[in-house]
Amino acid sequence: MSNVLIVAPHPDDEILGCGGVIYKHKNNGDQIHWLIVTHIFEEQGFSKERISTREKEIYEVANKIEFNSVNHLKFPTAQLDTIPTENIISSIGKVVKETNAQIVYVPYRGDIHSDHHIVFDATVACTKWFRYPTVEKVLVYETLSETDFVIDPDTNGFRPNVFVDISEFLEKKIENMNIYKSEIAPHPFPRSEQAIRALATLRGAAAGVRAAEAFMLVKERVL
């Protein structure tokens, strides 16, 4: 049994990037912990109704998946670049230690959303073996409309080297993503059900299975 920490800059990133793998870990008897880094606030222009809806979505997803813990850091969304880096690192580090995380999933550093690369950097800072000795493996996930929307001629892009068969869990991934009603829309919206299925099919074709999620293994420590 392993302790798994899914680090999501925003609610829904965990489903888009790891929605199938979460169930794979659950089937293996692993402990699954969800870390949500940001939150929306009225001071940012979000209505009380929008905030309430988002909180209900998070609650419903958490209950449906039955995470072993849900951790909210509640930094303001899309404003992580205004927060001292050490504050973000210390907050994430506290959760890594509390959950005894062994496997950590993080967003791709090259994603177009600045919150994603800030969360990547802060999380990776919390995987040093001499400060966080439980961490054995770090995997980077891809996020539709973030990873694939990058326009940077100097980047090598998301290059997966780990593929996980999620064929039996794809429908659950879709069901959970549909809970985020404000984040999903009909095709050609990039986070449509059709796009999610298409990416799973594409990754599955690379791995020789019906549907897969893809990751970049960036750290593995042999104990």
Q: pLDDT tens, 135-151?
A: 999 999 999 999 999 88
How many domains are there within the chain?
Answer: 1
Q: 184 lies in a domain?
A: no
| Tally of residues, the chain | 223
Q: 194 lies in a domain?
A: no
Query: Using 50, 70 and 90 to split pLDDT, how confident is the model at 152?
Result: confident
Is residue 35 classed as helix, strand or coil in its secondary structure? strand
Q: 152 lies in a domain?
A: yes
- Residue-level pLDDT at 154: 79
The domain of 119 spans 3-165+214-220
Average pLDDT of the chain, as a whole number? 96
- Residue-level pLDDT at 153: 82
| pTM beyond 0.75 | yes
C-alpha to C-alpha distance for 149 and 138, rounded to whole angstroms: 23
Q: 186 lies in a domain?
A: no
User: Mean of the pLDDT values across residues 112-122?
Assistant: 97
Position of tokens 């794809």? 170
- Residue-level pLDDT at 28: 96
Reported as a single tens digit per residue, the pLDDT across 50-108 is 999 999 999 999 999 999 999 999 999 999 999 999 999 999 999 999 999 999 999 99
Q: 60 lies in a domain?
A: yes
Q: Per 3-state DSSP, what percentage of the chain is helix, strand, and coil (rounded to 5)?
A: 40, 20, 40
- Residue-level pLDDT at 182: 86
Q: 204 lies in a domain?
A: no
Structure tokens at 152: 């940077």
CA torsion sign for 77, 8, 198, 59 is: negative
- Of all residues in the chain, what percent carry a pLDDT higher than 70? 100
CATH of the domain at 157: 3.40.50.10320
Q: 173 lies in a domain?
A: no
Position of tokens 């059709």? 194
- Residue-level pLDDT at 156: 84
Q: 32 lies in a domain?
A: yes
